[in-house]
Amino acid sequence: MPTPKISPSMLSSDFAQLGAEAARICSCGADALHMDVMDGHFVPNITLGAPIIKSLRHHTGAFLDCHMMVSDPEKWVDDFAEAGANLYCFHLEATRDAAALIQQIKATGMKAGVAIKPKTPVDAVLPYAALADMVLVMTVEPGFGGQKFMPECLPKVRVLRERYPDLDIQVDGGLALDTVDAATEAGANIIVAGTAVFKADDPKHVIETLRDSVKKHVDQ
């Protein structure tokens, strides 16, 4: 069965202290760091790019899980590989040839992920699930942190888990202690949480609780 993984979103960290924040959250048990890359075009917000990934890589050995909320994701593959990204997760809605893009990503040595927005049907991503290393089901509209969890997206997770028992399935958006059980019961094994982790008084406890939820529902 897929391994439980908690990937806190650095979007909720203090960007002025990015290296220290990465070290702090990894010391609390994070399995990866979720890097939200937004271009102001595919989504109405701008965050970080390859130069910041490259700078952060000098300060952490953590697995950098890059969520590419960008138009023309083919354009940035080499830059992120050279910067030290470990996983390059593009949006299905942003490319015309997902299979070719998955091959392009894997050729650099990075893992390939495919993300879908809340309104994108699961059938759209099924042809690529066996090619990718991970599928990300968004449980909010991409572009901003702190949004309310959308449970209506979870049937997509359930379909993916039923068809691909060993697939890494990530959920991102509004995940917290009061919503994680619904996501893991549906079959998600990689949990992205931003505010719930970084703003917590005890982030280690939150990470452990999120992981316990995955173990309870998926790792059986």
- 19 assigned ligand-binding residue: no
- Nearest to 180, CA basis, from 141, 213, 136, 216: 213
Q: What angle do CA 110, 116, 121 make, to 5 degrees?
A: 140
H or E segment to which residue 137 belongs:
strand 134-138
- 194 assigned ligand-binding residue: yes
Q: Phi-psi category of 95—alpha, beta or left, where left has phi over 0 and alpha has psi -120 to 50?
A: beta
- 212 assigned ligand-binding residue: no
- 139 assigned ligand-binding residue: no
- 47 assigned ligand-binding residue: no
- 67 assigned ligand-binding residue: yes
- 84 assigned ligand-binding residue: no
Q: Length of the chain in residues, anyone?
A: 220
Q: Cα–Cα distance between 40 and 197 in angstroms, integer?
A: 25
- 217 assigned ligand-binding residue: no
For residue 28, the SS3 value is coil
If one counts every other C-beta atom within 10 angstroms of the C-beta of residue 60, the result is 17
- 174 assigned ligand-binding residue: yes
Catalytic residues: 36, 172
For the annotated binding site, the residues are 9, 34, 36, 67, 143-146, 172, 174, 194-195
For the annotated binding site for a divalent metal cation, the residues are 34, 36, 67, 172
For the annotated binding site for substrate, the residues are 9, 67, 143-146, 174, 194-195
